[in-house]
Amino acid sequence: MMLTILTFLPLIAGVLVTLLGPDRQKLGRNLAFAASLLALALALSLWALFVNSRSGMQFVERVPWVPSLGIEYHLGVDGLGLLMVLLSALIVPFAMRASWKIENNPKLYFSLVLFLESGLFGTFTAQNFIHWFLFWELSLIPAFFLIRMWGGPKRTSAAFQFFLYTMAGSVAMLAAFLALYAATGAFDFAQLAEAAHRGGLFADHKTLAAAVFLGVFLGLAVKVPLVPFHTWLPAAYAEAPTGTAMLLTGAMSKMGVYGFLRILWPIFPEQMRAWRLPLLALAAATIVFPAAAAFAQKDLKRMVAYSSINHLGYCLLGIFAVVRLTEGSADSTNEQAAALNGVILQMFNHGLTASALFYFVGLIEQRGGALRGLNDFGGLRRAAPVFCGLMGIALFASLGLPGLNGFPGEFLIFKGALQLAPRTALLSIPGLLLTAIFLLTILQRVFSGPLPAKWNGWPDLTTGERLTVLPVMALIFVLGLFPQLLTGVANPAVMRMLKLF
Amino acid sequence: MNLYLECLTALTPEIMVIATALIVLLVDLAVVQAKPAAHRAALAGAITCLGCSLAMIWVALMPCSVHVAMLAVSPMTQWIKLSLLLMTFFAAVLSWHERFTRHAGEYFALLLLAAAGLMLLVSSDNLLMIFIALELLSISLYALAAFDKASLASSEAALKYLLFGGMSAAFTLFGISLVYGIAGDIQLGFIAGRLRGQPVEPVFYAALVMTLVGFAFKLAAAPFHLWAPDVYQGAPTPVASFIASGSKVASFFVLARILLTAFPGARGMASVSDFLPGWAPILMVLAVLSMVAGNVAAIVQTNVKRLLAYSAIAHAGYALLALLADQRHALSALLFYTITYAFTVLGAFAVVGVVEDSGRQASLGDFAGLSRRAPLLSFCMLVFMLSLAGIPPLSGFFGKFYVFTAAAAAPPQLSLLWLVVVGVAASAVSLYYYLQVLKQIYAVAPAPSATWPRPAFSAQVAIVMLAVIVIALGCAPDLLLGKITSLLKSHPF
Amino acid sequence: MPAWTIYISFLGAAFLMFLPGDDPRPARVTALLAALAGLACAAMGIIECRHHVAAGVLTDVANAPWIAELGIRYHLAADGISLVLVLLTGIAAVAGVLFSWNVENRSREFFALYLALIGGVYGVFLSVDLFLLFVFYEIAIIPKYFLIAIWGSTRREYGAMKLALYSFVGSAMVLVGLIAAYVVAGGKTFDLVELAKYPFPAAFQNWAFVLVFVGFAILAGLWPFHTWAPTGHVAAPTAASMLLAGVVMKLGAYGALRVAMTLFPIGLHTWQNTIAVLAVVGIVYGALVALVQQDFKFVIGYSSVSHMGFVLLGLMTLTQIGLSGAVLQMFSHGIIAGLLFAVVGRMVYDRTHTRDLAKLQPMNLNQVLPFAAVTFVVGCAASMGLPGFSGFIAELQVLVGAWQTFPVFAVLAAVGILVGAAYTLRVLLKAFFAEGVVDAQDLPRLQPITAPERAGTLLLLAATLIIGLYPRILMELITPSLNSPLMRPLWKAGLR
């Protein structure tokens, strides 16, 4: 029951907030925040109850829904799912605090965020495709409205593009799964994976198998996003209000990577093996090109957006590297485990750091009178030292400085990838360098140098803001120094995945 | 002696009707000459209705079956007479308040004489008697059509009717004489016997065509329909209603009798694949032309009476389809169709009459907004128009359905399906102009200066009764159909 | 019990005709009571018949001799599919009355015609004698004409006449087919179950099928015979468009399934691919045309054509899952179309008196009419086929069925879904969300949403959500019906 409660709690809270009268804006906002904290508490208790050593799904709930079509209400979490749930539960209150000062219909804004949270929880816990798809689509609508109604000047086209791209990907995925259903009569992920393992999926129709694989791949690739399906992202992230951007990058982008691990790989191991090289090339492209693009940006928000894509590229590099070159070669298990653990760590940590970065950029924009260009500022270190310090920490974490949380993930990924896919990994290293360069550039242009006169009275972080950002900052340090907290949860799931696939 | 008594008894309804005509004339000329016209009309009308009722009661209560000399009375024909008398009754009721003539006595007398003609028409199976009855009917109708002396259109209508009718009578008579020449007899049953086994001569075809042409004039089937629009529009409305209802039913019945009794062997085949010359192909051509010409011409009409005339032409086409069916269904389909059509068109003309009474013409625009002022009458008009269009659950729908089914079932199976397609398509087209009338009544706002004197109570009652009949026969067609089928089973003719 | 839906509707219509005076209030209340009673009878009918339905047996509701001469009986019966559609009619009827609460002009006649139309529709879904089915089918045509001609808006007389004539021509085609079938089968009975058993010759079936199917499918909006739909929907008043798109179009699809496909399975087999092509064209064409419309109602009108294409495609797949999806889509689209037209017609047009998207956008209606905006958002989500709403399960099943029979068409239909998302989103944005920030004083002052409108919205939303989240309710009715005696001929034709 816990997972159901967790998933529906934000939904019900969101409905309640919507039903409040239009003069109760503050009450709505507070209620929504309380609900998100409650969800966080639930997620933490889930973590506490989670048994690390057991490698299968825990907290399983399974109720037939439409039996004649093989649709079930099937929930469960393993290590991976639990971490994603925790991440979402952490980011949402953070994003809410970032949007505290919204003036235009805040009640609606917060209820939409709650609906989005419900969608996230649902996606990360679902084990049956229709159930999963429902929440996947459900998360689209609030995101769309969040961008459209509270976004920047070019929000209409950004929202439209975001919706249509994602929808197109979803339709492709739906079509592919319908083909799978027609062939196997099942929508359940575990059943489908088993059927694939036994070699029963489209055994003699190579082209059909490839087409179906492509469909699912497209749907997930648009969400991550993978180059070249990423063109919707910079506009969407740039135009979205701060809190929404944090949610998008922190949690929603992880839905795509999660999908690769949970859906694409278990069901299509053959195809992934066959297409390994092109996929690795795409992953490398996703690492390098956005980094280069970020380098060329002048808008801080866009830079962080591109950097987001770049970081997720590492995750994909890890996944694609892990895919076995040949059947049954077990000797690289160590490297595979390392890479996969790294992927999961990176997912978690990037969520934290990226959202923190967006938060800080949002603060800059707020204080700077809607300015967020790279060259609009300078020497803010003198005016707001605490701000600079904390943002610097976030920047360095994003860089991958050892001791901060960005490091373990990237390290493990590369450790595995250099053995498993050496050429691609080598090609991706420039991405690391570029990332370092542009992140440091931000630090330099915005914070050091002479302080222009107009920014003399630039306020430092207020107490509220310090409190908001404190948990995340703490986690950046803690997870950087003690990544075992995460790997302890993730490793059993990783080992199980490697064994099965 | 017995034979004469028998015949007289069989002819009692006709005698009653003629006697009523004479009484009406007498009373009007001798007794009430000085009274105002409205009273005279009311009295004459009352006497007419009384006479018709008595005749109906007699026919209903006294079954008789006589087949001797020129008389051929059977329960079937008695029953048709009943409906003809009912139609006359309604026509009389609708004429009670008409102010177009001061000569009420003559009017009702002529009406009754025309009714007598109708009844004699269906009581005989002798060609000469048929012709005499036809003339009695026609001449009365010519005179009736001219009764509105103040209207030029009325006189013109009557004259056209006379000329066309006279010509058609000439055709009919010529055809009949040719038949006599070939077969040597004028009794329908014997003609069939004489013609059987004989090779078909070209003269026979001439006779057949002549007779059919004559009847086609009477039925207003295209291309012999040219008199109908002017007569229906010009004649006084109750007269037009009578022409459209009673004379149609009787003429169709007589035509069916002649063709099915006297010329069964000359039927021919109307289907394209097994074509055989005879009267069936001729009827088919008439039917198609009527359906098409009637419906197409009706679309552009702006006068409702003229519209009803063209619709009558189209309906004659549908009825002719019934005759092409196989024997079992032909007569019952024909009778059901024509009788229900007759009541419907009586009602439609009645409503038109009410609208005209309030000082208007009968053009489409004059019906505008009728639903506001006279909701009950408008609803009845809705019933009549939709029944004519063939919308269930009204009698017109089942009539058409039955005719189409009978035609499709004509052996060989489905050979006439193309005709059914034409009929159905024509029916679909007809919905357009019936909806035009209804649109005026319901959807168009009335002119601000519209005045509506109350329609006569008797007219209202008559219209409502007719609407009830149409709806009842539509929802439970077995009421009529059952009777017809059982009568046909026991006494084919 | 389900037959009472018919009787109550007609009785209600007759009662309304005799109500004196012009006061709209008794007329509305009577109509609402009649519609609610109909819905109650529909629901009770489902409960009553569910054991029979689960066993796949046809439940006789009324069976009396009518016209003995031609073998016509007054024979009403129900299986799961009929009951689902009767339920849809009940829901749509109640919602329509609620959304017509503000009709003041000649409201008595309005509701009388409305109830007569509903009665005819109930009759079609419950008839098993073909003559009776045809009678009810035709009865439904005339009230439609008057509803549009008297209370409609843009070019109402033209739209009404076009609709009436198209429907009549369609039914004329069906009539010819029915008469031919009757005659060929020996001229003894019009009963659907009996006629379905008769082995019609293949050559006959080939032309009879297409005649009857197209005759019915005209009303279902089969491309290219769909042109009456956009004009008719735009011209009609709100309740009429809700009924037209919601229920009347389903009459055509139901007739195509019940009559054409059941009687002439060989003909179906011959024409299966052609009609499937037309259906797919309808899906994509309807969606593409909706994408470029400037009139709010036209967008919804064309979207109806597109959604009905799914129904027809599902029917043509000849798979159990495809047929099930088609019936479910009939239900689902009926509710959703009702919802969308209610927003367009009643909530927006009645207040702003414009349907031009260019004029609506600056009004920033999401601020002025938030209830309407939220309703429309949910309606759009449902229309797009998002999971959680009834349309998703329906389109899913149709796609699976199509994939099994014509994989290429399944892909094209999926493309249609995508275009559907695009035009739905476009119209949502253009109608309710202004481009920039609009000053509070520039916003129009509009009447607030009334209680009957809210009630109607809740009814429709509840229906689509409940079925979307718990489709078993309806699927338990539909799936066994595909095994009922009526559907046996389809099994012979290759139904899988």
pLDDT at C263 over 80: yes
| Winning range, highest mean pLDDT, from A86-100, A171-185, C439-453 | A86-100
Q: Which A residues in the span 207-226 are in contact with C, Cβ-Cβ below 8 Å?
A: none
The mean pLDDT of B79-105, rounded to a whole number, is 86
- C250 contacts C334 by C-beta, under 8 angstroms: yes
Token duo for residue A43: 């997620």
Cα–Cα distance for residue pair A14/A32, rounded to 1 Å = 7
pLDDT at C122 over 90: yes
Per-residue pLDDT band at C175 (split at 50, 70, 90): very high
Q: Which of C10, C70, C161 to mutate to test the interface with B (most CBs of B within 10 A)?
A: C70
Structure tokens at C73: 């009986």
Q: What band does C496 get if pLDDT is binned at 50, 70 and 90?
A: low
- What does R_g of chain C's alpha carbons equal in angstroms? 21
pLDDT score of A321: 84
**Contact status of A69 with chain C (Cβ, < 8 Å):** yes
Nearby residues of B442 by Cβ (< 8 Å), 6 or more positions away: B371, B378, B382, C109, C146, C149, C150
∠ CA A321-A327-A328, nearest 5°, is 95
Q: Give the minimum alpha-carbon distance from C114 to chain B in angstroms, rounded to a whole number.
A: 15
Residue C52 to chain A, least CA–CA distance (Å): 19
CA B107 centroid distance within chain: 19
Q: What is the pLDDT of residues A300-324, one digit of tens each?
A: 888 888 888 888 988 888 888 887 6
Q: What is the mean pLDDT of residues B76-95?
A: 91
More reliable by pLDDT, C97 or A277: C97
Decide: helix, strand or coil at residue B126.
strand
What confidence tens digit (pLDDT) does each residue in A9-48 have? 998 998 888 887 777 788 888 888 999 999 999 998 888 8
Q: Which of B393, B413, B424 lies closest to C176 in CB terms?
A: B424
Q: Do B409 and C183 touch (CB under 8 A)?
A: yes
Over residues A259-270, the mean pLDDT reads 85
Among C291, C380, C403, pick the best mutation site for testing chain A contact (most A Cβ within 10 A): C403
Alpha-carbon distance of A125 to A131, in angstroms, equals 10
Query: pLDDT class for A371, splitting at 50, 70, 90?
Result: low
Residue C281 has pLDDT above 90, yes or no: yes
Residue of C nearest to B329 (CA): C69
Contact present, C and A (at least 3 Cβ pairs less than 8 Å): yes
A363-377, A428-442, B262-276, C120-134 — which one is most confidently predicted on average?
C120-134
- What mean pLDDT do residues C251-262 have? 90
User: How sure is the predictor about C494, in pLDDT bands with cuts at 50, 70 and 90?
Assistant: low
Residue A408 falls inside a structural domain = yes
The predicted model gives C420-435 an average pLDDT of 86
pLDDT band at B450 (very low <50, low <70, confident <90, very high): low
pLDDT single digits (tens) C317-337: 888 888 999 999 999 999 999
pLDDT at C88: 94
Residue C3 has pLDDT above 90, yes or no: no
Q: Do C161 and B432 touch (CB under 8 A)?
A: yes
User: At A104, is the pLDDT very low, low, confident or very high (cuts 50, 70, 90)?
Assistant: confident
The answer to whether residue B205 scores a pLDDT higher than 70 is yes
In a domain, A184, yes or no: no
Is the residue at A178 inside a domain? no
Q: Stretch C150-157: mean pLDDT, rounded?
A: 84
Give pLDDT, residue A325. 63
Determine which of A179-183, B136-140, B271-275 has the lowest per-residue pLDDT on average: B271-275
B468 — contact with chain C (CB < 8 Å)? no
Q: Does B472 touch chain C (CB under 8 A)?
A: no
Residues of C in contact with A134 (CB under 8 A): 387-388, 392
- Burial pattern C180-218, b for ≥16 Cβ within 10 A else e, equals bbbbbbebebbbbbbbbeeebeeebbbebbbbbbbbbbb
Q: Do A141 and C433 touch (CB under 8 A)?
A: no
A371-385, B195-209, C172-186: segment of lowest average pLDDT: A371-385
Q: Is C484 helix (H, G, I), strand (E, B) or coil?
A: coil
Tell me which residues of chain C, numbers 298 to 337, contact chain A at a CB-CB cutoff of 8 Å: 321
- Global pTM reads 0.86
Residues 106-165 of A with CB under 8 A from C: 130, 133-134, 137-138, 140-141, 145, 148-149, 156, 160, 163-164
Give per-residue pLDDT as tens, B324-356. 887 778 889 999 999 999 999 999 999 998 888
User: Who has greater pLDDT, B358 or C474?
Assistant: C474
Lowest mean pLDDT among A111-120, A261-270, B383-392, C452-461: A261-270
Q: Residue C98: pLDDT band by 50, 70, 90 thresholds?
A: very high
pLDDT for residue C329: 93
Reported confidence tier of residue C366, pLDDT bands at 50, 70, 90: confident
Q: Structurally, how many domains does chain A consist of?
A: 1
- Whether residues C184 and B427 touch (CB distance < 8 A) is answered with no
Contact A141 C386 (CB under 8 A): yes
Closest CB to A175: pick one of C321, C388, C411. C411
Residue A402 resides in a domain: yes
Residue A130 to residue C392: CA distance in whole angstroms: 10
In total, the C-beta contacts within 8 angstroms joining chain A to chain C are 70
Query: What is the C-alpha separation between A249 and A263, in angstroms, rounded?
Result: 21
Of A312, A306, A389, A310, residue with least CA distance to A348: A312
In chain C, the residue whose alpha carbon lies closest to the alpha carbon of A184 is C400
Q: Do A175 and C410 touch (CB under 8 A)?
A: yes
Q: Which of A86-95, A340-349, A462-471, C112-121 has the lowest mean pLDDT?
A: A462-471
The burial of B328, by beta-carbon neighbours within 10 Å (0-12 exposed, 13-18 middle, 19 or more buried), is given as middle
The fraction of chain C above a pLDDT of 70, given in percent, is 98
Q: CA distances (Å), B237 to each of A145, B43, B304, C192, C466, in order?
A: 70, 20, 11, 46, 61
Residue in chain C closest to B390 (alpha carbons) equals C138
* Per-position b or e across A215-234, b if 16+ CB within 10 A of its CB: bbbbbbbbbbbbbebbebbb
Report which listed range, B6-10, B249-253, C407-411, is most confident.
B249-253
Kindly state the DSSP code that residue B366 receives in the 8-state scheme.
Answer: G
CB atoms C183 and B402 under 8 Å:
no
- Which of A72, A167, A216 is the best mutation test for C, with the most CBs of C within 10 A? A167
- Tell me, yes or no, whether A384 lies in a domain: yes
ipTM above 0.95, yes or no: no
At C492 the pLDDT is 67
Is the pLDDT assigned to residue B413 strictly greater than 80?
Answer: no
Nearest C-alpha in C relative to B385: C142
Residue A154 located in a structural domain: no
Q: Which range is most confident: A192-201, B32-41, C279-288, C348-357? A: C279-288
Asked if the model's pLDDT at residue A328 lies above 70, the reply is no
More confidently predicted of C60 and A40: A40
- A370 contacts on C by Cβ (under 8 Å): none
Peptide bond into B393 cis (omega under 30): yes
Taking residues A211-222, what's their average pLDDT? 88
The closest alpha carbon to A480, from A339, A345, A362, A386, belongs to A345
CB-nearest to C425 from A160, A175, A181 is A160
**Rounded distance, CA B22 to CA B25, Å?**
5
Q: Is residue A479 part of a domain?
A: yes
Q: Rounded to a whole number, what is the distance in Å from the CA of C135 to chain A's nearest CA?
A: 37
Question: What does the pLDDT read at residue C357?
Answer: 86
Residue A125 · residue A215 · CB < 8 Å = no
C139 and B439 within 8 Å at the Cβ level: the answer is no
Kindly determine whether residue C69 and residue B482, on different chains, have CB atoms separated by under 8 Å.
Answer: yes
C-alpha span between B315 and B309 (Å, rounded): 10
**Mean predicted confidence (pLDDT) in C30-43:** 92
Q: Are A241 and A102 in contact (CB under 8 A)?
A: yes
Chains that touch A (3 or more CB pairs under 8 A): C
Verify whether the Cβ–Cβ distance C183 to B393 is below 8 Å: no
In angstroms, the separation between the Cα of residue A342 and the nearest Cα of chain C is 33
Residue-range definition of the domain harbouring residue A381: 295-501
Q: Do the chains contact at C164 and B431, CB–CB below 8 Å?
A: yes
**CA neighbor of C161 nearest in space, from B295, B441, B435, B386:** B435
Work out how many CB contacts closer than 8 A connect B with C: 88
**Residue C478 pLDDT:** 87
pLDDT of residue C87: 93
On whether residue A404 sits in a domain, the answer given is yes
